Amino acid sequence: MINLHFEKIYSTKGRWEPCSVAVPFEKGRLKDLSGVRVYDENKNPVPTQARATALYPDRSVKWLFVRFMAKVPASKPTDYSLDISSEPLNLRTIRADDKSADTGSLSFRVSEKENTLFDEIRLGEKVFDSSFISAPQLKDGKDREYDFKAEKWELSESGEVCAVLKGTGFHSYKGKDIYKCEIKLFCYIDKPWIELAYRIINTTEDILEIKNLEINHVKAYASDMRCAAGISNYKTRYKISENGSEVKEIIDDELLLFEANEHNAEVFYGTFFADCTDSSGGLCATVYQAQQNFPKAISADKNGLSIKLVPQNVGRIIMQGGMAREQRILFDFHTPFRDLSELNDTSIRYQMPNKPQVSPEIFEKSGIIEDIFCDKKNSDIEMFLQGEADGHMRCYGMLNWGDSPDMGYTMQGRGGNELVWTNNEYDYSHACALMYERTGIRRFLDYMLVSGRHWLDVDICHYSSDPLYLNGHWEHTNGHCKNKIMECSHQWVEGLLDYYHFTGDEDALKTAIEIGNNDLRQLKKPQYSKPGSANARDTGWALRVFTALYKETNDEKWLEKCDRIVSHFEEWEKKYGLWLSPYTDNTHIRSVFMISIAAASLMRYYRVRPQEKIKAMILRAVDDLIENARLDNGLFYYKELPSLKRFGNNPIILEALTIAYELTGDTKYLEVGMPTFNFIYSRRGPAFLGVGQKKSIGDTVTTGGQGTKGFAQMLIPVATYYTACLREGLIPAKSSV
């Protein structure tokens, strides 16, 4: 049995709600999913739906994604359990196919007709036609109104808990398909809910200015109609009309600037919903993370509801060519005049659902997570790591939520007069996933989910006529992609794979694979044809991408290029004696952090395909840095030029040193890193920096705090080094309390 712990959250009476969890397994332990079952605190089986998201070469399960129904009690924690050897049960499932679904409480049939999403929706004896909930309605900055059509619907998932229908289509203008869109419809057993995930993709080379983007619900006016709008960040504020007159709420930059909010907004900010009801029934629509993805507006009147994902004349949303953005709405069909407090409860739970936590021991035992687990801990360093994770800047805005600017790059002028967005540099999403796995603290999981969703949408080039851009990951820049630079040195996939495992969203896996394919195309550029003509980190990061994709998919395709990169490093070393990087037109220098990236990437491949020559190369590189790249104070320098021999502030050298220790067992490699570790640790800031002064800049509202790059480049090096030093007694296990 694997324990699934729910922490205490809600004081209202528990209700059945869908939950999900990702669990890793050691090789060979789980081969048959028929015995997977979740049990409640009283050891009663609950509806369970499981699938493998990654397999070992022997076809045993590496990662398991499980959906289940839970009823978490009010005002106290509880524990469910996951069993992988239960007797199969024949519980009722959702009836679904490529065009329809029936939860037992609600059924619907999707539409392939223009400007409609549903042919019909049924609640018991009630039947709602195609006009009841509209398709997304788009108007651009030139006041052009687009038609919408979804087609190619398919059932992507179904079982005892959830069914997911996926459709693709276009927003078209004058009969020409222009902007691709994707629709996902989620429904849950015995729930009168439809969750709509709508994703628009700018499938042109030009900008798309969205002037208005809305989804409407049409309801015939009744004399007893109640309309309501609710918004909160603490207590929910209601606007209520009993006669069909309009109520509305708008979220703009001014509201965010002057509204106090103390939450970690990735976990929760507030809620935002509109409701229409009368004696025949009602519909409540909640926008997921509306404040975080402003601008947003909702309204309700005698004509029904309007959900404005981009409200007209509120802010300015400009999507660059190739950008995408997914947004979600929960449609809750309910009985007549249902109490607003109950609707509010469902809405808040949608914003901050109960999430079961798996203990760090489960992740450690699987053997597939980086070596960041330790039996004894130094609480001062643990607080430091948590403070670094929490201290990132929050940046609200539909195209910016989940990212943050790098103020160093910004102040250097790299973005002109605009913010330079980090674009997940050093794989911030993966660092957050690891932080969750080693601590079990929920907010770190939510950091990963938010940043991963942004990355999956905004920082990937989803459309381009240039194959060197298509499906690649943009380097940090203003506007997320304005400088049009895409290199191997700034492409990552591990965080997307984490996102896939924890959400079951196959788009993340597909995107990670396409980044790998883009890297393959990048490596055909002339600068990668000769050893030493590019930086060590370029092919180093590519090697890390390919190794991660091989471990994920077991596809030998990725290892073919890995072998070529290894030989490239061999040739490079023979030519220069070292992995020297070109800098000025007439210099080749040691770059400590770039060489460390190369060593860390080679080590990842070595763990998959151990080769003595790789081990030897890594040790020669690390020994050379120890001998030739340190200052008198014991710190490593930044780069090997008189103008650049300042204190190196990139902690990745600690990972290279820890790798050398792993390969040799020699603690000298850990000892030589202590000045760097102490330097990083001594420069720690307050435990939490994410709620400082807010500013409205362009299409974002920023909070105080640091960019995400710092934590992204720090977590793996510091955590692996700290773990190794704890085991060797070089860092004491102690408490500051």
Mean pLDDT of 574-599: 91
Q: What is the pLDDT of residues 23-54, one digit of tens each?
A: 999 999 999 999 999 999 999 999 999 999 99
- The answer on 102 and 31 residing in a single domain is no
The pTM of the full predicted model, rounded to 2 decimals, is: 0.97
Residue 371 lies in a domain: no
Residue 400 DSSP label: T
Domain with residue 58: its CATH number is 2.60.40
Mean pLDDT of 469-479: 97
What is the arithmetic mean of pLDDT over 119-123?
96
Tally the domains of the chain: 3
Q: Do 137 and 145 meet the contact criterion of CB atoms below 8 Å apart?
A: yes
In a domain, 373, yes or no: no
Q: Are residues 595 and 671 in the same domain?
A: yes
Whether residues 527 and 624 share a domain: the answer is yes
pLDDT of 682 above 90: no
pLDDT of residue 735: 62
CATH number for the domain spanning 102: value is 2.70.98.30
| Interval 353-402: pLDDT, tens | 999 999 999 999 999 999 999 888 999 999 999 999 999 999 999 999 99
Q: Is residue 146 located within the same domain as residue 14? A: no
| 391 domain-assigned | yes
pLDDT of 721 over the 60 cut: yes
Inside any domain, residue 549:
yes
Are residues 25 and 123 both part of a single domain?
no
What is the β-pairing status of strands 61-71 and 695-697? unpaired
Mode of pairing for the β-strands spanning 317-319 and 208-218: antiparallel
Residues 137, 257: one domain? yes
DSSP state of 279: T
In a domain, 410, yes or no: yes
Residue 672 pLDDT exceeds 80: yes
* pLDDT, position 283: 96
Residues 266 and 389 in one domain: no
Which among 83, 45, 84, 39 has a CA at the least distance from the CA of 61? 84
Domain closes at, from 83, 110, 127:
83
Residue 356 lies in a domain: no
pLDDT on residue 577? 87
Q: Which string of DSSP letters, residue by residue, matches 166-216? A: EEEEEEEETTEEEEEEEEEEEEETT--EEEEEEEEE--SSS-EEEEEEEEE
**Residue 581's pLDDT band (cuts 50, 70, 90):** confident
Is 542 inside any structural domain?
Answer: yes
User: pLDDT (tens digit, 9 = 90+) per residue, 424-472?
Assistant: 999 999 999 999 999 999 999 999 999 999 999 999 999 999 999 999 9
The size of the chain, in residues, is: 737
The CA–CA distances, whole Å, from 300 to 223, 285, 386, 504, 604 equal 15, 10, 42, 34, 55
Q: What b/e string do you get for 537-569 counting C-beta neighbours within 10 Å, with b at 16 or more?
A: bbbbbbbbbbbbbbbbbeeeebbebbeebbebb
Model pLDDT, residue 288: 98
* Claim to verify: residue 442 and residue 510 sit in the same structural domain: yes
Reported confidence tier of residue 685, pLDDT bands at 50, 70, 90: low
Residues 346 and 386 in one domain: no
Q: What average pLDDT score do residues 511-525 get?
A: 96
Q: State whether 259 and 302 are in the same domain.
A: yes
pLDDT value for 737: 39
Among the candidates 31, 62, 83, a domain finishes at: 83
The 8-class DSSP code of residue 84 comes to S
Q: Is residue 367 part of a domain?
A: no
CATH number at residue 647: 1.50.10.10
Q: Which residues span the domain enclosing 66?
A: 2-83
Instruction: Give the start-end residues of each E strand in 353-432.
Output: 395-396, 420-421
Write down the pLDDT at residue 695.
95
- Compute the average pLDDT of residues 295-300: 98
Looking at every residue in the chain, the average pLDDT score rounds to 95
Same domain, 290 and 430: no
Domain shared by 108 and 79, yes or no: no
Q: Is the pLDDT of residue 331 over 90?
A: yes
Domain boundary among 83, 108, 125: 83
Which is nearest to 248 in space by CA: 285, 278, 282, 223?
285
Asked if residue 541 lies in contact with residue 570, where contact means CB atoms within 8 angstroms, the answer is no
pLDDT attached to residue 133: 96
Place of tokens 């802010």: 315
